[in-house]
């Protein structure tokens, strides 16, 4: 028999995301999260004893969804071009489902990065295999030579920045036109894939 999902827990997690983005980990208060969720503080503590546990629950959910998806792409036997395109599709999909992530991470990095570093270490997120994979493709002559770290960070930056800068894009570029902004996000993966592939993939026909 299927277990019914707890709607109260969902409300708490969504409320915590809102408060964490606005106040950061240090500035967030359990009472504010309870108020945002429309519940009393005692009920909040019944589900999550501390904001640290709330933070971990939110990011655990995202990591459990995102990490296997990205890992499958990077560990596949596909050509580097296909890996780059699949990675961009997967990453943009994650950001569209969880648009609060970039803003919250930037806030925490400017406040106190140690908490995020501990969390990353706990889940074993290691970029070295990615850099190695990129270098191998360069050595085979599939993509142009460059520091693998630059390529990886360039791709991630192009994916993340429009979400991190959502308030600026919304007000300055799209004049508060929410529909136009969403269309922009829906087009983003295709634009990045074309840009990156054209920039780094070596055309063997011209060799």
Using an 8 Å Cβ cutoff, are 15 and 46 in contact? no
DSSP line for 29-87 = -HHHHHHHHTS-HHHHHHH-SSHHHHHHHHHHHHHHHHHHHHHHHHTSSS-HHHHHHHH
Global pTM exceeds 0.85? no
140-187 residue pLDDT tens:
999 999 999 999 999 999 999 999 888 899 999 999 999 999 999 999
Domains in the chain and their CATH numbers? 1-49 (1.10.10.60), 59-206 (1.10.357.10)
Q: Which of 162-166, 196-200, 201-205 is most confident?
A: 196-200
């Amino acid at each position: 028999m299927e277990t019914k999902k707890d709607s109260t827990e969902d409300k708490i997690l969504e409320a915590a995301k809102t408060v964490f983005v606005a106040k950061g980990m240090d500035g967030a208060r359990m009472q504010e999260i309870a108020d945002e969720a429309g519940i009393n503080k005692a009920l909040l503590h019944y589900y999550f004893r501390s904001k640290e546990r709330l933070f971990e629950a939110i990011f655990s959910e995202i990591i459990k969804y995102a990490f296997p998806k990205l890992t499958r792409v990077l560990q596949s036997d596909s050509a580097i071009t296909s890996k780059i395109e699949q990675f961009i599709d997967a990453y943009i999909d994650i950001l569209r489902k969880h648009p609060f992530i970039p803003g919250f991470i930037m806030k925490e990095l400017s406040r106190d990065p140690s908490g995020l570093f501990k969390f990353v270490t706990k889940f074993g997120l290691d970029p070295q295999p990615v850099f190695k994979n990129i270098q191998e493709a360069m050595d085979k002559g599939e993509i142009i030579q460059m520091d693998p770290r630059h390529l990886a960070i360039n791709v991630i930056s192009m994916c993340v920045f429009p979400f991190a800068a959502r308030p600026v894009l919304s007000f300055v570029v799209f004049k508060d036109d929410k529909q136009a902004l969403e269309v922009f996000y829906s087009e983003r993966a295709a634009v990045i894939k074309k840009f990156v592939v054209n920039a780094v993939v070596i055309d063997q026909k011209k060799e």
